[in-house]
Structures are given as structure tokens and as C-alpha cells.
Amino acid sequence: MNVLRTGRCMLLALALVVVGAFGAPSAEKDGGTVRWCVPEQLQANCSRLTSAAGVGIECVSGLDRTECLRMVRNRQADYVMADPEDLYVAMNMENQDFVVFAEQRTTEEPTAPFRYEGIMLVRAADGFSSLADLRGKKSCHTGFGRNVGYKIPVARLQRAGLLKLPVADGALSTVERELSALSELFSASCLPGTYSPHADIDALLKHRYANLCERCDAPAQCGKQDKYAGYEGAIRCLVENGGDVAFTKTIFVRKYFGLPVTPGGTAQPARNPAARPEDYAYLCEDGTTRPIADGTAPCSWAQRPWPVLLTNGDYSGTRFQRLQAVTSQLDQYYTDSQSTAPEADRAAAVALGIKATNPLVNRTELAAPRDYLQKANYVEVIEREGPYGSAVRLCVTSEPERQKCELLRRVAYSRDIRPAFQCVLKTEEACIAAVRSGQEVDVVVLKKHSAQLKPIVTEVFADHPAKTNGAKNGEGRAYVYVRPDMDEAAQDSIVHAFVALSETFGAGKPNALVFRLFGPFRVEKQADPVSNLMFHDNAAKLTSLNKNSLEDN
């Protein structure tokens, strides 16, 4: 019996509902169909595959996954697949009663309560007795902006009072405040990655806080492909490159040192046979250490929850059992080795999140999104500088724009785009006046020239940067405007935030399935979507005009 099959057998034993037959099971006799909401790009594939599986699931579509959350809340759909960041958005929606009812786990760790656990790995001989001993040490991180290597350490070290961010007086952006604090805490680090999607700002930050790249294999680049980037790379930085502490996750510690991945499991060959596990230990938040070699449970200071299936509060009793049954049937039809599903359909199901390596496990205890995230300390990880922290005050000129802005700010914040956004509704004329005065708002997006304000970001179209490519009524490109005398640091912070929005939710980006920055937007209680809100629907990305740095390629 292979590993995949063994893992799946363990998962089926955990599931609340056991489905006995594969092939094309029929569930209609147990009641009506349940509605699975997927982004509209996936609906045709979803409908074909659910029909082929013969399960009682109807695929309905939202413009993106965030609209699917609204549809589940509004009873226009029954469930949606969601990442932990989506749960953060969901828990902050008005009038929500979402419930987590299943998790997508892995065959490698089928019984683990979390997707992964963030840990600190140190040398046992270094004699750590408190977190304060980290000061002045050489640190190894998976990468900038990543969970176990950046977000969790920043959140938890702040909480412990060890990482002290500069005062939020506007002189430094939220990102730079965190980098400054890390640079002050550690003598040298390898924190690889892209500090800003804007190349000039990225280079400036890496020059200003050069010690954060000092321990990387290629400190001049300090890029995400560095030899010491990633989960295993951070361990190698500690073991092979003179680091003092590695921020990584437990499963890679076990693999690197050749320890069993799961308790009682079979150990695989070590990634580095020369490294002795008895020489290393987990550093706990209380300052104690735990050996990694004797099977002792690691001390994890925060975790990343599993991706989940999310429904609403209408599901209970037999309705809830049916929901778990049909979603389990669909998952098993396309992932179990005994199923009759064609290989081509199994491959197509991957685009819907149905994978043999990530089988579905039904929860016996339901959880609201906030409770589910807090069990993993994940709300604190997202809100590490306080809920929404310092914000860019974005002026919007219509109620549809306000609604889009409100969703945008929540989705962006959940996915670590800083500074956060705050939405302020005014008329266009009032927005221009307010931005110019700087008293109530910081920025406005306009599709026309404003002599009173300074443009710092604009939209780019795929065919040519200067064309609107079919914008309605001959409107010009959208520009992000600030007041002319805004200081350079504040401008850089706003540029960073808008370019990060584009790099995360722009055209062709994977997270455009989560939220579409460019494209139609559906206003609450309105059937037809609204086009060209804030930016043009067919824009490709946002680019900086600051310092004459155009990124039109």
C-alpha cells in the first residue's frame, strides 16, 4: 500500500460521513442540490465535473471568491472554499453567520490540527534561557512577508515586547517600521524576498537595512530564490551558514534531520546527514528549549490553519449532514484511487481545489471563522500592528465605489498589504479639496487630469501603456492623486500599497480569483455588476509615476 493510499485511509477514518460507493453516486434522493460558489472563470469546469461525478451539487458563480462569501452569507449559495485570509474577511462582514464544516488537509500530515506550525530553531549548546537572548543574534527567515519566517515572528516578538517598532508618526511606512525593528533586534539576518513590488523602494529598503540581507548567499540581490530562502533554506542558514536562530516550520525540521514526519512514522533519509539532531532545539516563548530528536512535541508559537469549506448558519441537523456527505462524495470521486473518474477529469479538478494530496476531512465540531483563526493565533498574525493600524485614507466618489473600497481594504489587509486602506465617501469636488488640504483624506483615484493634485500611480493596459483600450466614453486613464506637498516617505508608502494591490489582485494574478481589482463589481442588492469602478475593467496593472520610474513593460 503506497503512502498516498495510507494517508487517505487515515483521513477517511477521521471523516464524519463515510461514503461507501465510488463511480457516479446519486445524492438527489436525500434532498435537493447544494450550491457551491466558485469564481466565474471556474464555473463551466465546476458544472461539468460535478455533473460527471453524479453528486447533488450545483455550481453557481460569483465574480470572484470574495463575492462568493457574500453570496453564501446572503443565502444565494451554500458553501465556498476559503483560505485563512478569506476567513478573516468573512468574520468582518456585516450580518455574517459563517461556519467552517470541513478542512483540506494533506496526506503527509492527515491528523495535524493545523496546516503548519511556526517554530524557532536554535543550537542546543547556545544556552538560550529567554526570548531576550535573541537580541543581537543572527537570524534566518524563510522570506519577507511569509508566514512562519516573517509575519509570525513579527507578531509574536512584538507581543513579547522584544521587537519594538518605531513610533507610527508617518515618517516611516508600516513595512519600513517592521524592517527597522528587525534590523535593530538582530545583528545580521537573511530575510530574502521582495520588500516592495516597486523596484526603487525595494532597493532603497534593502540598502537602508542592509544587515537584513547580510547572511544571505547573495546579499546584493537578497531575493526570494536565494540559497537560504524558504523553509529548508532557513534551516540551512542556521546549520550551514553561521546563523543563530531559524524561523521555519516543524515538518521541514523533521525532514532536514531525517526524523519521522508524524509520530510513530517511518523516518526518511536526512537532507543533511552531517547535521546531528541532538545539537538543535526548539526555542519556546517562555524561554525554555525542547529537543527535536526525542519525539517531544515542538513548542509552536502560532500556526497557519487549513484551507476550509465554509457555509452559513442555516445548515444544521440533517441538512448539515447532507452538505458534508455530498462534498465528501465529490472529493473522493476525483481523488480516491478506486474511483472510476478519468485521469483528465482528475487533472481538471485540481483547478477547483480538489487534489489527491489535499483530501477533505469533515469536522465533527463546527467553528465560526473568528474562533477557527484564533485557535491558531492567526488573527494576531494578520493584525500584528493592531486592527488596520495606520491607514491610507482613500476618498471615493460614489456609493458603488465605497462598497468596492470596503471589500478591497479588507481583502488587501488580510493578505498583508500595508499600509491599510480607509474608505471615505465624498463628492468628486469635495475629494479633490480634501486631498489637497490633507485634513481628512490622503488620496483619490480620478479618471481625469487634476491640476490641483499630484499623480503618483496610474493604470496600464496590456496593449499599450498610454491607451485606455476601450474605456467608455473616451475617459482617460485612472490616476492615483495626492497633495503636491506630501512628503516623499508618505508618497512611497502609498505607491507601495497600490502597486502591491496590483501585484496581488491584478489581471492574471492568482489572487484575482480571490478579488478582482480590475473588472466589474456587483453592488449589494443589485443584479447587474457595475463597470469601471475606480479603475478601468480592462486595465492590466498599476504602475508608479514617482521618481519617473515607469514600469510599462
Total H helices, total E strands in the chain: 16, 19
- Burial status of residue 452 (CB atoms within 10 A of its CB: 0-12, 13-18, 19 or more): exposed
Residue closest to 390 by CA, chosen among 245, 216, 173: 173
How many of the other CB atoms lie within 10 Å of CB of 495?
27
> Annotated binding residue at 209?
no
> Annotated binding residue at 142?
yes
Which ranges of 250-305 does DSSP label H, i.e. alpha helix?
Answer: 250-257
| Cell numbers found for residue 160 | 513579547
| Cell numbers found for residue 142 | 524563510
> Annotated binding residue at 481?
no
> Annotated binding residue at 149?
yes
Residue closest to 213 by CA, chosen among 186, 192, 231: 192
**Hunting for cell 524563510 — which residue is that?**
142
Q: Is 195 left (phi over 0), alpha (psi -120 to 50) or beta?
A: alpha
Distance CA(465)–CA(475), nearest Å, equals: 15
Distance CA(199)–CA(194), nearest Å, equals: 9
> Annotated binding residue at 314?
no
> Annotated binding residue at 146?
yes
Q: Where are the beta strands (DSSP E) in 16-169?
A: 34-39, 57-62, 80-82, 99-104, 116-123, 138-141
What b/e string do you get for 518-551 counting C-beta neighbours within 10 Å, with b at 16 or more? bbebbbeeeeeebebbbbbbbbbbbbbebeeeeb
Q: Are 193 and 503 in contact (CB under 8 A)?
A: no
Binding-site residue positions for Fe(3+): 83, 116, 231
Binding-site residue positions for hydrogencarbonate: 142, 146, 149
Binding-site residue positions: 83, 116, 142, 146, 149, 231
